A and B are shown apart, each in its own frame.
Chain A
Amino acid sequence: MAQTRRELLLDALHCRPTPRTPWVPYVGCHGGKLLHLPADVYLRDPEYIATGVATAAERYRADGLPVVFDLQVEAEALGCELVWSSENPPAVNSHPLAHGLDLSDLPEITPDSGRLPVVIEAIRRARARVGDEVALFGLVTGPFTLALHLLGSDIFLEMVLNEERIHALLAYCADIAGRVGEWYREAGCDVVAAVDPMTSQISPAHFAQFIAPVAAPLWQRWAAVGATTALFVCGDAWRNVPGMCATKPDALFVDEQIDLVAMGEVARAHGVAFGGNIPLTTVLLLGNTDDARRAARQCIELGGATGYVLAPGCDMPYDTKPENVAAVAEVVHGDFTGEIAAKEAAAVTIELPDYTKPGEVLVEVVTLDSLSCAPCQYMVEAVRAVEAQFGGQVRWVEHKLKEDDTIPLMMALGVKSIPTIIIDGAVTFSSIIPEATKLRESIEARLAAKA
Chain B
Amino acid sequence: MADFNSMQEAVIGGNLPEATRLTQEALDEGTAPSAIVNDGLIPGMLVVGEKFKNNEFYVPEVLIAARAMKGAMALVKPFLKEGDMPALATVAIGTVQGDLHDIGKNLVAMMLEGAGFKVMDLGVDVSPEKFIEAVSDGASVVALSALLTTTMPNIGRTIEALKEAGLKDGVKVIIGGAPVTQAYCDEIGADGYSPDAGSCVDMLKALIA
Contact = CB atoms under 8 A, between A and B. Distances in A.
Interface of A: 83, 85, 87-88, 91-93, 153, 156-157, 159-161, 201-203, 206, 239, 281, 285, 317-319
Contacts of A157: 60, 63-64, 67
Interface in B76-112: 98, 100, 102-103, 106
Given A88-B148, A157-B67, 9 more contacts: A83-B125, A85-B150, A92-B100, A153-B106, A156-B64, A157-B60, A202-B58, A203-B60, A206-B58
B150 A87 contact: yes
Given A153-B102, A201-B103, A239-B55, A318 B60 contact: no
B149 A317 contact: yes
B150 A203 contact: no
Nearest to A201: B59
B55 A156 contact: no
A88 B99 CA distance: 10
B196 to A, nearest CB: 12
Contact of B100 (A91, A201, A318): A91
A281 B149 CA distance: 8
A319 B64 CA distance: 38
Contact of B58 (A93, A203, A281): A203
A410 to B, nearest CB: 36
A157 B55 CA distance: 18
22 contacts: A85-B98, A87-B150, A88-B150, A92-B100, A153-B63, A153-B102, A156-B60, A156-B63, A156-B64, A157-B63, A157-B64, A160-B14, A160-B60, A161-B64, A202-B59, A203-B58, A203-B61, A206-B60, A239-B55, A281-B149, A281-B179, A317-B149
Contacts of A85: 98, 150
A160 B125 CA distance: 28
Nearest to B63: A156
A318 B150 contact: yes
In terms of DSSP, what is the predominant structure of the interface of chain B? loop
Contacts of B125: 83
Closest 6 CB pairs of A and B: A156-B60, A91-B100, A201-B59, A203-B58, A156-B63, A160-B64
B58 A201 contact: yes
B157 to A, nearest CB: 16
A360 to B, nearest CB: 52
Nearest to B102: A153
Nearest to B56: A203
Contacts of B14: 160
A161 B150 CA distance: 36
A317 B60 contact: no
Contacts of A91: 100
Contacts of A285: 149
A93 B106 contact: no
B181 to A, nearest CB: 10
Interface in B25-69: 55, 57-61, 63-64, 67
A202 B61 CA distance: 9
Contacts of B55: 239
Contacts of B58: 201-203, 206
A67 to B, nearest CB: 23
A153 B103 contact: yes
A92 B14 CA distance: 29
B64 A93 contact: no
Contacts of B102: 153
Contacts of B148: 88
A411 B106 CA distance: 55
Nearest to A282: B179
B164 to A, nearest CB: 25
Nearest to A91: B100
A85 B149 CA distance: 14
A157 B64 CA distance: 6
A295 to B, nearest CB: 17
A160 B179 CA distance: 30
A310 B102 CA distance: 31
Contacts of B149: 281, 285, 317
Contacts of B150: 85, 87-88, 317-319
Nearest to A158: B60
A204 to B, nearest CB: 9
